[in-house]
Structure 1
Amino acid sequence: MSDEYDVVVVGSGAGGMAAAITSAAEGLKVVVLEKAAVIGGSTAVSGGAVWVPNTHYAKAMGIQDSEEAVMAYLSAVLGNALRPDMMRAYLRRGPEAIEFFDRNSEVKLAARAYSPDYYPELEGAGKAGRPMDPEPYDGRLLGEDFKRLRDPLKEFTVLGGMMVNVVDVKHLLKVTKSFASWKHGMKLVLAYFRDRASGHARGTRLLMGNALAARLLKSARDRGVDIRTQAEVVGLLRDGDRVVGVQARINGKQTDLKARHGVVLATGGFPWDATLRAERFPKGSGLWSMAPRDNTGDGIRMARQIGADFMDAPADAGLWAPVSLWKKPDGSEVRFPHLIWDRAKPGLMAVNSAGRRFVNEGTSYHEFVRAMYRSHESVPSIPSYLICDRAFIDVWGLGLVLPGKRPRGHLIRDGYLVEAQSIPELAAKLQIDPATLAESVARFNKSAEVGEDAEFGKGSSEYNRYYGDPEKTEGHPNLGPINAAPFYAVRVYPGDIGTASGLRTDADARVLDAGGQPIAGLYACGNDMASVMGGHYPGAGITLGPALTFGYCAGKAIVASASR
C-alpha cells in the first residue's frame, strides 16, 4: 500500500469518516487510520441521533423552523458558552453537509416528526425535525467489512445479537397480546435466525449509531478510501510550521504516512485519558465512560505537542450520563447508560445517600448527572440510587434488568440489583436511614396520587412526557406509586458518553494555536474538536450533528487548499 496520500484521517467515527468521504468525493487520495481492530469509534455504539436544524429532510416533512429560532434557543441554553461565529457556521453548513451526504453517499437520515429539545420551555426550542435518525441498514451490503464494523453495545441487543429500537421493544413486549406485535416480532426474530444460520456472528439489521457507522464505512469504501485498522498514530510530521503527515504503528510496525494537503484528527476525545479526566472532570468522577476504551486523547495530545490550543468547555468537560455497573463473578464489568428508557417512566425515583430525592428523574441524562454532582457537594451522592417496585420492574425493567418479567436473579446475586421486601429493608441494604427513605417514598407517592410533582417537577415538561409511558390512559405518564413489594434499587454513577473540551478550531475545522492562528495542514472534528455546544447538551444528537458537519467542513477546506 502507498504511504503517501492527499489526506490522512486519524479515527473512523462520524467526524473522521465524514472528512474522508468529502475529500474523496472531490478526487483526493485518502487514508483512514483506526487505532482499534474495528471501525466506527463512538458512533458505532451510540444512539445515532444527529441534531442539525433546517435540513432538507425536515423541510420535506413540512416542518417550519428558522436559524433565528435555533439561535434564540441555543443562546438561552448556552449563555456565555455560546460562540456566535462557530454556531452560525454550524447552523449554516450543517444542512449543506447533510444534503451533501444524502446526494453523495449511503448516509440516509430520517427527521423525527416529534422529538422535543431537552429544554422545551425555553424560547426557540424545537419539537420536531432537528434530531434525525439513521435509516436502518443491511449489514450484508458491507461484505467482508461487516466483520470489521464495531459491534453495538450488547446491552442494546436481544437474543445475543439482534439490534432493536424502542418501537421493536414495545412490540416484543406485547407479542402475546397483539397480533400486530406478534407479526412484527416474528419478522424480526426469523430474520435474525436466518442471519445466524448464514454464518453471521450477529444480526445484519443495523440500527441507530451502528447503522450510521455502517453507512459511512460503505460510502468510504465506494469512494476508494484506504482504511487501515490497528493503526495507532503516535506523532505528527512537520515541514517547518506545516503538518505534512503522521507517524504510526500499523500492526506493530513503525510507518510514516505523508499527507500532501491535510491531516484530520478525529480520535474521539479523551474519555479514557486518566490524566486529562483528573484535571478537567468534577471531584468524585471515576472512569465510568461509555465511550470505547481506545479513545485515550491521542489526537489532542499530539496536537498540543506542536502548539495547538486546548479549549476547556465553559460548562462541562464531559457529556454526562448516569451509568450503572455490573461486576460479574469473572471480574469483568458491564456498564449500562441510563439515557431514556427507565428514568422518566412512572414509578421510579432517584435518591442520594441521605435517602432524599435531588433531581427530576425525567430530565436529560446530562442534567441528571449535573444534579448528582451538585448534590454531592453537600451530601454523598456518588453513587445515587434508582428505586422502583415490582410493578415497575416487571413492565419497564431497570438498567440491565430487562423488561417483561425477564430473569433477574443473577443480577441480584452479583449485587447489581438490590431487592427487598420492604422500604426499610431496602434502606438497610443501601445503608440509608430507613425513616428518611420511607418519608421520600411517601412524598413521591403523594405526587403520583395528585398528578403533580411539586418537589422536583417530574413530568412537568414536554421532554419529560415524551419519554414517559406513551400508552398510559389514566393518571400521569411520568408519575406512579412505589408500593408493590418487593422493592428494587440500582446504583448509578456520574458517567459520560464522551468529552466536550478539546482542540480549538475555526469554522473550517482548522486547528488553532495559542495565538488563534491556524496550524497549516492540521484539522480536527468529532470529540477531538472543542464542542460547539460548550459543554451543554441542548438536544438529542448534538455530538454527531457537529461531527458530520465539521468533518464535512474539514474535507471541503482541504479540497479548496489542494486546488490552489
Structure 2
Amino acid sequence: MTAQAHTQSSYDVIVVGSGAGAMTSALFAADQGLSVLIVEKSDRYGGTSAISGGGIWIPNNHYFKALGGNDSPELSMQYLKAATGEHADEGRLRAYVEHAPQMIKTLTQNSHVRYAVADKYPDYYPHLPGALPGGRTLDPELFDTSLLAEELPNLRKPSPSTLLMGRIAWTARDAHTAMARSFGWQWLIFKLMARYKLDFKWRRKSKYDRRAALGSSLVASLRRSLMDRNVPLWLNSDFQDVLVEQGRVSGIKVLTGGKVLELTARRGVIFGSGGFEQNQTLREKFLPQPTHTRWSATPPGNNTGAALEAGLNLGAATALMNWAWWAPTIAVPGEEKPRGVFAERAFPGAIVVNSLGQRFVNEAAPYLEFVDAMYQDNRKSAGRSVPAWVIFDGHFRFHYAMGPLMPAQVVPDTRLRKEWLNTVYWKADSLQALAAQIDVDAAGLESTVHKVNQYAHTGVDLDFARGGNVFDRYYGDSNIKPNPCLAPLRKGPYYAMRLDAGDIGTKGGLLTNQHAQVVREDGQPIPGLYAIGNCSASVMGTSYPGAGGTLGPAMTFGYIAALHLAASAAPSGRTFAPVTAASL
C-alpha cells in the first residue's frame, strides 16, 4: 500500500517501522479505537522480524501452563534479575514479566497469530536460579500466505537458511528434530518435502512454500490481522524526523513519493524501526572494533539509526550503545546479507579457533556470548579472533550442515557452487594444508584438534565444558555418546569456514521507562514519544535470557505502549477509558 494512495495526514498514532513489535503495537492501538498509520522505509514490510526465527520468550505463558508447566512471575523475575544483573532496570523487567503473558494471550485470541510452546527449548543460562529447561520460548505455527492476497508480494522474503532446502517452510520444533537427529527425523523430512511437492497449484505460482514459518509466519499473520482492521501500511516511506509542538512530539516528517510529508499523530509516535547496525559511522562510533555493516545478518540499507538520531536531538537518554544482539555470520557470494550461525556450532565434530589455531570459547554457547568472546579474545590476542574459523572433517561434512553447506549426504561437494570454494569454504587433505590456506598456525591447530579428540573420547571438555549443560545439548546429536556436542576430527578431507563478528541487530538505543516512553537523562518522559524493539535500549541489559529475547520484549512493550496511549489524554482533552490487565 503506497502513501500516494492516501490523502489522510492525521492519525491518533503513527508507528515507524513494520517489524513484529511495530505491527503488534499498531494492532493493539487499533483495537483500542485509535486510528493508526504504519510507515516503512523499505519496499517490503516485516523488517528483521521477517527473516528471524520468530520465536518469542514469554515467561509464565498460558501455553506452558496448559501442558502442566511450572513457571511463575516470581521465578521469572528471579531468573531475569540473575541474568541481567546491574545492567537492567527492575521496573522495566517487572513490566515485561507482568504484561508479556497478557500480550500473547490477547494477541492469539484476537488475531491470526498462532504459537506453540517449545517445551524442550531451554533458557540460555541454565545454571542461573529461576532458569527452566523449556517452556518459555514460543514457536510460530505455519501460516497460509495465500491469505495475504495482494499484500503477499510486499512481504520480506525469509532467509534461505530458515527454509528446508532453501524453499520449504518448517517450524523451529521441526528443525530441532532434524538437526538433533532425533527419532523419526528422516520421516519428518520426507513428510515436509512431500507436502511441498504435492501442492501443485501453489507451485505453479511460486517455487517457495505456500506456508510461512518462523519470523515470516509471525509477520504475515500480523499483517493479515492489520488488513482485517484496515490499518494502512505505507511502504517506501522513509522517516526523516519528528514534529514537536509545545514540547510534545506531535507527528513525523516522512519522505515518500519524492516528497516530504508532515503527518500528525494526535496521541503519539511509536518508534519500532530497528537499530543502527546498518550505519557504518554509528557502528564505528559505538561498537567494539573491528566492525562492519557487511557482517550483519539484517537487511542492508535498513536499520540505519534514524529513530535514534531523532531521539538524541530531543535530548533522549541512551544505554547499551556498545552492545548488539551478536551472532557469528558467514558471508555467501550473491546473497544480500550473510547468514547467522546459530545451531550448527553445537553439532559434534566442529570446533572454532582463532588464527593461532586455539579455541577460545564453548562453541555451543549462546550466540551473543559467542561473539562477545570473539571480541574479548581479539583484544587479548592482538587481533587474532575476528574473524574466527570453524574447522570440521569429512565425517562432519557428510552428516551435518554448516551455514549454507547442507550435509554432503544430501548435497555433496561436487554439487556445491564452484565460486564457494576458497570464498565460503576451504578444503584440504590435511590439517596442516588447511591451516596454510586460511593463515592459521598449523601447529596450534593440530595441537587443538588432538586435545579435542581426547575430550570427545571422555565426553568432558576440560577447557570450556562444551556439552555440559542442557542448552548446549539442545542442538547436539542425540545419537553421539557420551557427549552429544563432541566428536573427534579424524577423517579427511578437512574443511574451514570464516566466521565474522556479526549480529542480528544492535542492542543499545533510546532509553525508555516501564510504559515504553522515551526518557531524558533525568528520567522524565518525552511527551508523545515511545520506542520499542532494537531502537530502544534492551530491557534484557547485556544478556540474552532465551530464544525470542528480542521479539518477546519488542511485542510486549508494543502492547504496553498501545495501552498507555489509549489511556492517555489527547491534546484536545478527549480521553479513552483506561485499559488495565483486569479488563482484558
TM-score (normalizing by structure 1)? 0.94
* Superposition pairs of residues 25-424 of structure 1, within 5 angstroms: 25-158=31-164, 161-165=167-171, 167=174, 180-181=187-188, 183-191=190-198, 193-197=200-204, 199-200=205-206, 202-287=208-293, 288-293=295-300, 294-312=302-320, 317-327=323-333, 334-340=337-343, 342-379=344-381, 380-405=384-409, 406=411, 407-408=415-416, 410=418, 412-424=420-432
Structure 1 residues 173 and 371, CA gap change in structure 2 (3 angstroms): closer
User: Is 1:505 matched with 2:482?
Assistant: no
- Specify the code of the residue in structure 2 equivalent to 1:109: Y
Contact 1:168 1:185 in 2 (8 A): no
- Specify the code of the residue in structure 2 equivalent to 1:537: Y
Contact 1:238 1:244 in 2 (8 A): yes
Matching residue of 2:446: 438
Q: Distance in 2 between matches of 1:398 and 1:179?
A: 19
Matching residue of 1:514: 521
What's the CA shift for 1:165?
4.2
- Specify the code of the residue in structure 2 equivalent to 1:425: A
Q: Distance in 2 between matches of 1:171 and 1:518?
A: 48
Q: Distance in 1 between matches of 2:499 and 2:164?
A: 23
Unaligned runs of 5+ in 1: none
Contact 1:38 1:149 in 2 (8 A): yes
Q: Distance in 2 between matches of 1:357 and 1:487?
A: 17
Q: Identity of counterpart residues, as a percentage?
A: 38
Contact 1:501 1:535 in 2 (8 A): no
Matching residue of 2:541: 534
Residues 373-417 of structure 1: CA distance to partner in whole angstroms, max 9, x if unpaired?
111112211111100001101111221111243133525435210
Residues 155-199 of structure 1: CA distance to partner in whole angstroms, max 9, x if unpaired?
33355533334526866999xx998347514433324554221x2
- Specify the code of the residue in structure 2 equivalent to 1:416: V
Contact 1:5 1:259 in 2 (8 A): yes
Structure 1 residues 183 and 123, CA gap change in structure 2 (3 angstroms): same
What's the CA shift for 1:90?
0.5
Secondary structure in 2 matching 1:278: helix
What's the CA shift for 1:367?
1.1
Aligned residues: 554
Residues 191-218 of structure 1: CA distance to partner in whole angstroms, max 9, x if unpaired?
4554221x23632211001000011111
Q: Distance in 1 between matches of 2:206 and 2:282?
A: 39
Residues 210-255 of structure 1: CA distance to partner in whole angstroms, max 9, x if unpaired?
0000111111111121111001110111111011111111122221
Q: Distance in 2 between matches of 1:103 and 1:164?
A: 23
Contact 1:43 1:213 in 2 (8 A): yes
Q: Distance in 1 between matches of 2:179 and 2:103?
A: 36
Matching residue of 1:469: 477
More deviation in 6-15 or 409-418? 409-418
Matching residue of 1:548: 555
Contact 1:24 1:224 in 2 (8 A): no
- Specify the code of the residue in structure 1 equivalent to 2:450: A
Contact 1:155 1:336 in 2 (8 A): yes
Q: Distance in 2 between matches of 1:160 and 1:180?
A: 19
Contact 2:393 2:492 in 1 (8 A): yes
Matching residue of 1:447: 455
Q: Distance in 2 between matches of 1:318 and 1:411?
A: 31
Contact 2:326 2:504 in 1 (8 A): yes
Q: Distance in 2 between matches of 1:146 and 1:27?
A: 27
What's the CA shift for 1:433?
2.2
Contact 1:401 1:411 in 2 (8 A): no
Structure 1 residues 439 and 69, CA gap change in structure 2 (3 angstroms): same
The one of 439, 442, 466 equivalent to 1:458 is 466
- Specify the code of the residue in structure 1 equivalent to 2:202: D
Secondary structure in 2 matching 1:162: coil
Q: Distance in 1 between matches of 2:185 and 2:285?
A: 53
- Superposition RMSD on alpha carbons, in Å? 2.0
Q: Distance in 2 between matches of 1:560 and 1:403?
A: 54
- Specify the code of the residue in structure 2 equivalent to 1:426: L
What's the CA shift for 1:355?
0.5
Q: Distance in 1 between matches of 2:420 and 2:327?
A: 23
Structure 1 residues 172 and 115, CA gap change in structure 2 (3 angstroms): closer
What's the CA shift for 1:263?
0.8
- Specify the code of the residue in structure 2 equivalent to 1:438: E
Structure 1 residues 471 and 411, CA gap change in structure 2 (3 angstroms): farther
Q: Distance in 1 between matches of 2:542 and 2:491?
A: 40
Structure 1 residues 259 and 508, CA gap change in structure 2 (3 angstroms): same
Residues 304-349 of structure 1: CA distance to partner in whole angstroms, max 9, x if unpaired?
1122222235xx5101001112345xxx665111111x11111011
Q: Distance in 1 between matches of 2:548 and 2:180?
A: 27
